[in-house]
Amino acid sequence: MLLLVSLAALAAAVSVRDAAAYKPKFRISPMDGSKIALPTREQLAWQDKEIGVLIHYEIATYLDIDGCNNVPDLVPAVSLFDPTLLNTDQWMDSIVALGAKYATLVAKHNCGFATWPSKVRFPTRGGGGGGGHHDRAAGYNYTIADSPVHGTDLVGRFVKSAKRYGVGHGFYYSVVVNNFLNVQNSAVRNTELAPGQVGITNETYNQIVFDQLTELWTKYGTLTEIWFDGGYSSAQMGKIEDLLQKHQSQAVIFNGCQENGTCVSANSVRWIGTEMGQAPEENWSTGLTNDGGDSGSPFFCPAECDTTLQTQDRWFWGVNQPLRPIKEMIDVYHKTVGRNCVLELDLAPDRSGLIPANQAARYKQLGDFIASCYGKPVAAKRSRPVDGGAYSVEFARPTAIDRVSLMEDQTDGQVIRSYQVHARIVDADGEGGGGENQPWTLVSNGTSVGHKKIDIFAKPVTVTELRVSSTFVDTPKWRAVTAHLCDELTAKMVAAAE
């Protein structure tokens, strides 16, 4: 799926217009004078969603390879796209069962096939070898309207289903690669045209991109997320920024910033730097690099962790491609959502146009685990912030727990720099008092909290009270500190799956 191309590598020498009037918003710490990056409402709302899906379904679903990446001459025959059971409501059943709150659909991947009936027209020219340079007007004739299921607008159907199910929707449209138009790295290659390719100029290519983005951004409602796989060239950046501000300024933009601080939107989010579904243990909501970020950065730009349900980093549905076991997917949840990273899980409808039963079952299993383990915390007698940025959870009686979930209110920025969770531990019978004289034991600690941090203990402990202390650059506002006990649930689910 992803083009593991660094944004800097795409930067062409010329810039059509100076992009990025955008300046980061921050305030100054009253405690140490450091910069505290401020989020937008949209970024916080997006982090609250915690889980989304990235849907890979288009002509590449009908190939044996995982998309047209790195095969620049391949333009799969449009007749391949022939789903017989296409049902986007059925996709939503899995999305809802997983607990995902938004879905980003690949509207055009690297083959160039558009899953909506694009009406964009453009001048063509004979390719490298022959045909001369006579420009002719042509339609973008590599879309669903040219396929056996012409008359269907897949993008439109998806949007309708998402609305019906109360799921946010967005689009992935690669501006960097388009085999149909002989484009790699945002530039038209100077090569002989391969079968199925159409010859155009670089200027025409960028115009097609802007016209197709305009179609997607004006005809399908308000978008939750827009995905730029591999970013965009500096020649495309300024116009993309303008179009976004004009049509979809509220959308969260994946790869919206470059490392040097040039951003196409204030609502940018960053890539975590791996497709394994794993954020670093320490992962800040701030920073522009494709990793755990930087607590001192003036840019609030939280991370997204995209990963697959199929093994081997397979994004499009693969024949007999095994799925990752539930044990591994539970681990993915903890290493993404539990590390302040929004989890975006791949959804790969098969060649009939449906989510296969084994995948649907796995999404539901994972969703059931999350709801059972984290839906309702272990009951506490009293749970409240206390002086000095600390937080206290008291239990009515000795209570077994095996993990804590911490959430910071980031409205005025992410301010906690480290935390320690101490517990008054008693043995399982409640011996050892648990009263005022019971000593405190460190049960977990870390650095970044952000939207959410989940710490799982090596084994359950029986406690009467928890106390979370922290270091910070301004007095923290805790959103929640909850305790959970899920060791048996986890063991049961893993055993049932074996």
Residue ranges in contact with ligand NAG by CB under 6 A: 8, 11-12, 15, 124, 138, 141, 187-188, 190, 198, 201-202, 234, 258, 260-262, 280-282, 291-292, 418, 445-447
| Nearest residue (CB) to ligand NAG, 418 versus 438 | 418
Q: How far is CA 209 from CA 173, 177, 224, 233, 251, in A?
A: 9, 11, 20, 12, 18
282 or 368: CB nearest ligand NAG: 282
Q: Which is nearer to ligand NAG, 248 or 255 (CB)?
A: 255
Taking the C-alpha atoms of residue 343 and residue 279, their distance in angstroms, rounded to an integer, is 10
Query: Cα–chain-centroid distance for residue 481?
Result: 25
Q: Which residue lies nearer to ligand NAG by CB, 99 or 280? A: 280
Q: Shortest Cβ distance from residue 442 to ligand NAG (Å)?
A: 6
Using Cβ positions, the residue closest to ligand NAG within the complex turns out to be 292
Amino acid type, 258: Q
The residue (of 392 and 447) whose beta carbon lies closer to ligand NAG is 447
Q: How far is the CB of 153 from ligand NAG (least distance, A)?
A: 19
CB closer to ligand NAG, 121 vs 163 = 121
Please, which residue, 114 or 223, has the CB nearer to ligand NAG?
114
CB of 355 to ligand NAG, least distance (A): 30
CB-CB contact of 122 with 204 (8 Å): yes
CB of 407 to ligand NAG, least distance (A): 18
Q: Taking the chain, what is the end-to-end CA distance rounded to the nearest angstrom?
A: 29
User: Nearest approach, Cβ of 95 to ligand NAG (angstroms)?
Assistant: 30
Q: Give the position of tokens 């939280």.
A: 302
Which CB sits closer to ligand NAG, 185 or 352?
A: 185
Nearer to ligand NAG, 257 or 378 (CB): 257
Which residue's CB is nearer to ligand NAG, number 158 or number 232?
A: 232
Q: From the CB of 423, what's the least distance to ligand NAG, in Å? A: 14
What is the rounded CA–CA span in Å between residue 323 and residue 329?
A: 10
Closest distance between ligand NAG and the C-beta of residue 400, in Å?
A: 23
Residues sharing a CB contact under 8 Å with residue 447, sequence separation 6 or more, in sequence order: 282, 295, 417, 418, 419
Q: 357-374 and 88-98 are packed helices; what angle lies between their axes, rounded to 10 degrees?
A: 30
CB of 99 to ligand NAG, least distance (A): 26
Which is nearer to ligand NAG, 274 or 352 (by Cβ)? 274
CA 17 to each of CA 238, 244, 258: distance values in angstroms, whole numbers, following the listed order: 6, 15, 16
Residue 396 beta carbon to ligand NAG: minimum distance, rounded to whole angstroms: 29
**What number of other Cβ atoms are within 10 A of residue 90's Cβ?**
15
Alpha carbon distance 329, 307 (integer Å)? 10
Q: Please give the structure tokens belonging to residue 432.
A: 């050892």
Cβ nearer to ligand NAG, comparing 159 with 332: 332
Q: How far is the CB of 236 from ligand NAG (least distance, A)?
A: 11
CB of 85 to ligand NAG, least distance (A): 25
Smallest distance from ligand NAG to CB 7, Å: 6
Partners of 169 in beta bridges: 103
